[in-house]
């Protein structure tokens, strides 16, 4: 299975690692997230490609069942905590903080 490239900003990796440090490894998904972060390419916010979905980006996407929606990718403290996992296809990045010069959000 081909895994997609992961690109993170230095800001996002720092915040995600801080979040992981507060969680027990028995929490579902913690080890997987650690593995994914370990293989990520890290760039400064100013050098993030415009086609990368970063934290606090708003995207238009299509679910596996064909339904289209628009959401913002947020940290857990800002989420609705529904916990639903889905496979999605990103159709458009409507807003990316780094593209707009918001490097320290």
Which tokens go with 61? 């996407």
Residue pair 73/97 in contact by the 8 Å Cβ criterion: no
Mean pLDDT for the stretch of residues 50-67? 92
Q: Give the per-residue pLDDT at 70.
A: 92
Q: Give the per-residue pLDDT at 105.
A: 62
- What pTM did the predictor assign? 0.79
Residue pair 97/57 in contact by the 8 Å Cβ criterion: yes
Res 45 pLDDT > 90: yes
């Amino acid at each position: 299975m081909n895994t997609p490239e992961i690109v993170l900003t230095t800001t996002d990796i720092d915040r995600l690692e801080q979040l992981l440090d507060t969680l027990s490894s028995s929490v579902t998904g913690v080890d997987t997230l650690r593995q994914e972060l370990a293989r990520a390419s890290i760039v400064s916010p100013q050098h993030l490609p415009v086609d990368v979905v970063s934290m606090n980006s708003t995207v238009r996407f299509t679910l596996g069942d064909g339904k289209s929606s628009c959401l913002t990718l947020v940290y857990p403290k800002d989420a609705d905590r529904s916990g639903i996992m889905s496979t999605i296809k990103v159709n458009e990045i409507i807003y990316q903080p780094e593209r707009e010069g918001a490097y320290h959000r």
